[in-house]
Structure 1
Amino acid sequence: MPEVSIEINGRKLNVAKAIDISLPIDFSLPHERAWYIGPSSRKAVVLGDWVGSTEAGGSVNFFNLQLNPHAHGTHIETEWHVHHHRQMYPAMDQWFLNGYLFTAEGKTNEALDLRGLWPVLPKNTEALVIRTLPNPPSKASMQYSQTHPPYLAPADAEKIARQGISVLLIDLPSVDPEQDGGLLAAHKSFWKHQTKNSGQQALIGELLYIPDRIDDGEYAVHIQHPAMINDAVPARIFLIPFL
């Protein structure tokens, strides 16, 4: 594979070795990934005698899609997720962010242990990616509904924000407990305590998958998303190693 390098703030990264850490919206999955609402669906449009499916004899494939960004795949979300008066659709103001991947121990329905993060977190980190253990390959197709995964303590979400981090990414369905009575305390804490140093809109991304072969450490983070006006949108997220 050819080397394609870009220099960001004096550091080179090899975009040819970008690592996709997102989970697609997979219409073949028989279940949702989280939040109890059932699987996504893809149905051919039918207009009179015409059907939008080449398999069914139509001239083209022309499907209607039913999906929920929060429930069916990797997504990014804004404060609009928890505040109706702050309607803003997710948008990346920077092509590449200084990122850091950290692996945390997680236990069912308990806060993640981030004590090992603070001594190693680089001061210039703009995007934090949290991988949780256990991390089997089956996690990539897991149904999280009613499993009560671990979550972030609101105090840790505040500390992350105060470090100047504007993009918080995690491989779980939510940074908050599955059932918390609607508090969403970690979401709110992260957005409330933003320092705004980076100028990047503060975003939370959830339902990623980071294989064990990827080492903890510094990466550039690149996020792609559709131009969709909603509190959350599907996203494709990459870690790009520095040279």
Structure 2
Amino acid sequence: MSAHRFTICKMKTIITHNANQYQIDLSKPLDISIAITNKKDNVNAWYIDAPKIEPHRDKDFVGSIPAGASTNFYDIWFNPHSHGTHTECVGHISAEHQSVNKYLQQFFFLAEVITISPSKANQDLVITKDQLQKALGGTALSALVIRTLPNTAMKLNRQYSNSNPPYILEDAMVFLRELGVEHLLIDLPSVDKEKDNGALLAHKAFWNFNGEVRLNATITEFIYVPESIVDGSYFLNLQVAPFENDASPSRPVLYKIE
């Protein structure tokens, strides 16, 4: 991947990418992540309970200032795949269980935001190769952000278990891989069909699982791209919490190119 060069003047930054220069304003981030909360309406998938964020308890100790402790000292229980924006690597589907914290070593990318209305296929809603070809053409790009329609704020709280959400077809993922997309971000709980008997065709196609595996490629799920963010080119800052795990909570942030 090409190196970037930064020139910072106050909050304005000039980025050089593939010999082209772009200006972004670091004071105007566009956060497309969904936070993890301790509420029952926290976005959720994969048939598990809501996250828990609560004071640690040990005998008479309760880690909460209102309960008499000197500090707030909270335990957090969550699953990164189920409870909010997360970024995953091929370790999600491999016996080696590779760590996204190890393989995601660059964090700034030129990205394209596109909006797609999934099409009907039998009883499913799917994203097809033809839709991606029409939206992207044949232009190579390193990061892609997909917003699906309908796009409402309900995505911030939706309970996806047993709802058969839209997903990406295998040949569409092969197209993205061949286009050079290394970092795919989408506002769905998975790029694959909710119940596919473990086939995971889209995941496997993206990471080239049966060939030369793309260890540095990532998939980010459960984003939310508000309508105020128009389709087009942006710079993406993709940061993950440093868990040594196949997936980690993440905070993708877009910056408009001025």
Same fold (TM over 0.5): yes
Output the CA distance in 2 between the equivalents of 1:49 and 1:137: 41
Stretches of structure 1 that go unaligned for 5 or more consecutive residues are none
Structural RMSD (CA): 2.3
- Contact map agreement 1:14 1:240 (CA 8 A) in 2: yes
- TM-score, structure 1 as length reference: 0.90
Q: Tell me whether 1:174 sits opposite 2:186 in the alignment.
A: no
Q: What SS does the corresponding residue of 1:219 show, helix, strand or coil?
A: strand
Give per-residue Cα distances to partners, 1:51-100, cap 9 Å, x unaligned: 21112111111111100000000000011100112523344322310100
- Equivalent residue, structure 2, for 1:206: 221
Output the CA distance in 1 between the equivalents of 2:257 and 2:42: 37
- Contact map agreement 1:33 1:145 (CA 8 A) in 2: yes
Q: Pairwise mapping of residues 56-135 of structure 1 onto structure 2 (< 5 A)? A: 56-85=67-96, 87-90=98-101, 91-106=103-118, 109-121=124-136, 123-135=139-151
Q: What SS does the corresponding residue of 2:166 show, helix, strand or coil?
A: coil
Picking from 137, 144, 148, the partner of 2:153 is 137
Q: Using the TM superposition, name which of 187-196 and 200-209 deviates more.
A: 187-196
Sort the Cα spacing of 1:181 and 1:120 in 2 relative to 1 into closer, same or farther, 3 A. closer
Q: Tell me whether 1:7 sits opposite 2:15 in the alignment.
A: yes
- Contact map agreement 1:32 1:40 (CA 8 A) in 2: no
Output the CA distance in 2 between the equivalents of 1:81 and 1:31: 22
- Equivalent residue, structure 2, for 1:235: 250
Output the CA distance in 2 between the equivalents of 1:125 and 1:153: 20
Output the CA distance in 1 between the equivalents of 2:197 and 2:131: 30
Sort the Cα spacing of 1:191 and 1:131 in 2 relative to 1 into closer, same or farther, 3 A. same
- Equivalent residue, structure 1, for 2:65: 54
Amino acid at match of 2:152: P
Deviation at 1:195, TM superposition (A): 11
Sort the Cα spacing of 1:8 and 1:195 in 2 relative to 1 into closer, same or farther, 3 A. farther
Output the CA distance in 2 between the equivalents of 1:15 and 1:92: 22
Sort the Cα spacing of 1:86 and 1:45 in 2 relative to 1 into closer, same or farther, 3 A. closer
Sort the Cα spacing of 1:193 and 1:16 in 2 relative to 1 into closer, same or farther, 3 A. farther
Output the CA distance in 1 between the equivalents of 2:134 and 2:162: 34
Picking from 8, 29, 36, the partner of 1:18 is 29
More strand by share: 2
Deviation at 1:200, TM superposition (A): 8.2
Output the CA distance in 1 between the equivalents of 2:16 and 2:47: 41
Output the CA distance in 2 between the equivalents of 1:203 and 1:185: 15
- Contact map agreement 2:165 2:193 (CA 8 A) in 1: yes
State the percentage of identical aligned residues.
36
Deviation at 1:36, TM superposition (A): 1.1
Q: Tell me whether 1:183 sits opposite 2:195 in the alignment.
A: no
Sort the Cα spacing of 1:241 and 1:195 in 2 relative to 1 into closer, same or farther, 3 A. farther
Amino acid at match of 2:177: A
- Contact map agreement 2:41 2:158 (CA 8 A) in 1: no
- Equivalent residue, structure 1, for 2:4: none
Amino acid at match of 1:129: V
Deviation at 1:16, TM superposition (A): 1.8
- TM-score, structure 2 as length reference: 0.85
Aligned length: 240
Output the CA distance in 1 between the equivalents of 2:100 and 2:29: 26
